[in-house]
Chain A
């Protein structure tokens, strides 16, 4: 008798949870997304375009501001694997966050799964300005030390360009896209730029240290002739730290 009663109580207690799991299961993509901007984010526009995933190949999702104070948009397209959402609002430090799936009901009372995201503007952000002579395309990778953080990749086409929502502990790896040789990562962080008085100018001689050659570099140092050759493709790369733009 006691056992039967325990089962009834357990079922009564966990039934909503089990129901919610079925609505927000792994196989079920969220029907809606809800986004909140926490802290001093300025005045984000009523219509936000949010990127899904941190890769250079991403999908944009539109979200509209609601009276309740959040932005709401349709759920992720079915072909999208990522559940990471990235803000385009400058000032949101390292702007990709993971969502939290929550069961809810729509206007008609039907059960839906809502993915909730919070972009926090209370963390200081900084902006990296990238310019090159002549103009070249640079690929970038953004990383934070936290294991769960999202690695973001992209391209700055024909720099000058800017990455405007970097977290204090975030590093950016830049690779100029030049042929016939390639560059290894030029890693820059806020701390390293502050050490260089906010600007790091890499001339051809310094860029040469980042050139990757098949079979590895020769043991001798770079010569003036090599520096003159690299200048044909890239004379200078200038990385400047700016105060964050909100």
Chain B
């Protein structure tokens, strides 16, 4: 049963043929927005749980900061970078459409390190939220609980640091997808992602799994922790890295801004245990946050 479920997951991810943006970009914060928060009603239906939209929402956020020993795709680069990242998402019903623009400028690192990192990246994403009844609801629950997950499909285009803008052939492309999956047997929901990358130096694939282990507060300080694993296939599959991360955030809600400090060591075990340290400090600010409408009459459910 577990094997069948695992194969089903792999199949679903495979056919999604999409690539997330960088799963481990330390400055790219989660843009998951529970549709119920926007007033989207989850309506039980013989075909599953339907979504009724109420308040479409547009959110644009700017992140700007510095990353030391920047982790790019599957490994630390050794380079320090300054990052400007604008993520704009439109949420409607069960759908989310995102456009992410990222600019990197390298501050230090060898030529080989710097060459790994793109100069600019554009990512387009489409995400769909999915709800289903919780098969093992808490005993004290007085209503039918649901499990809400999200599928993300994305496409990215990158300009390498050394590229000439007129040379389109030097651009790198990624397609991929990610989905929230429940680990069979335990109540753990993590994000499994797959990416297919086409670059000047060849084609690669990678799988990653990120499990958000928790969120806690200490006065105004918010602390998120996660642990991730990534493996890559170039000519052949390579064992990847384990990457725990701790993310500190001080929200300045009145200014729609947050200060972020993050630390993510990368632990490699092949050829002896080695640890690399990625540290990031950046500001995150909402540029646009707009709720479009508040419908009062019932709208037709989206299938």
Contacts and interface: CB of A to CB of B under 8 A. Distances in A.
Interface of A: 133, 179-181, 203-206, 209, 211, 213-232, 235-236
Nearest to A218: B148
Contacts, number: 110
Contact of A229 (B38, B42, B143, B252): B38
Given A203-B253, A231-B289, 14 more contacts: A179-B39, A180-B55, A180-B294, A209-B217, A214-B36, A215-B146, A216-B138, A219-B189, A223-B30, A223-B32, A226-B34, A232-B291, A236-B253, A236-B254
Interface in B40-93: 41-42, 54-55, 57, 59, 61, 89
B222 A225 contact: no
Interface residues of B, number: 50
Nearest to B41: A214
B29 A224 contact: yes
Top 10 A-B pairs, shortest CB-CB distance: A180-B39, A221-B215, A203-B253, A215-B146, A223-B30, A213-B36, A225-B33, A216-B145, A205-B251, A223-B32
A228 B145 contact: no
A216 B57 contact: no
Given A216-B145, A219-B189, A232-B291, A224 B42 contact: no
A134 to B, nearest CB: 11
A205 B222 contact: yes
A226 B33 contact: yes
Contact of B29 (A180, A204, A223): A223
A228 B59 contact: yes
Contacts of A203: 220, 251-254
Chain B CB within 10 Å, residue with most, of A213, A221, A231: A221
Contact of A226 (B32, B131, B214, B284): B32
25 contacts: A180-B54, A204-B253, A215-B131, A215-B143, A216-B134, A216-B146, A217-B34, A218-B34, A218-B147, A219-B189, A221-B212, A221-B214, A223-B31, A223-B33, A224-B31, A224-B61, A224-B258, A225-B31, A225-B89, A226-B33, A227-B253, A228-B59, A229-B37, A229-B38, A231-B286
B187 interface: yes
A215 B256 contact: no
A181 B215 contact: no
B165 interface: no
B144 interface: yes
